[in-house]
Amino acid sequence: MNAITTAIRELWGLFVEDASFTTGILICIAFGIFALPHLGMNALWRGPLLFISLAVVLFENVFRSARR
């Protein structure tokens, strides 16, 4: 059982280095899927708004990592 747990943790670590960064990305994607269609804005603005929100999450993570 310990080998399976270790393997799962290693696999998780390959894809998720920073949990807050991953959580921010998932929140942005969920916002894009569930909230943006109901805001009544033009569909052409949904893509750029999603891009900007993902860029903000990325920059916040980079600045936080640079301070360490």
pLDDT in tens, 48-65: 999 999 999 999 999 988
Helix axes 19-30, 46-67, angle to 10 degrees: 170
Cα–Cα dist 65/14, whole Å: 18
In a domain, 45, yes or no: yes
Tally of domains within the chain? 1
Determine the 3-state secondary structure of 42 from DSSP: coil
Within 10 angstroms of residue 61's Cβ, the number of other Cβ atoms is: 16
The domain containing residue 38 runs over which residues? 17-67
C-alpha to C-alpha distance for 21 and 42, rounded to whole angstroms: 28
Kindly state whether residue 53 falls inside one of the protein's structural domains: yes
Q: Is residue 7 part of a domain?
A: no
Residue 3 lies in a domain: no
pLDDT, one tens digit per residue, over 8-40 is 888 888 777 778 888 999 999 999 999 988 888
Q: What is the pTM of this model?
A: 0.74
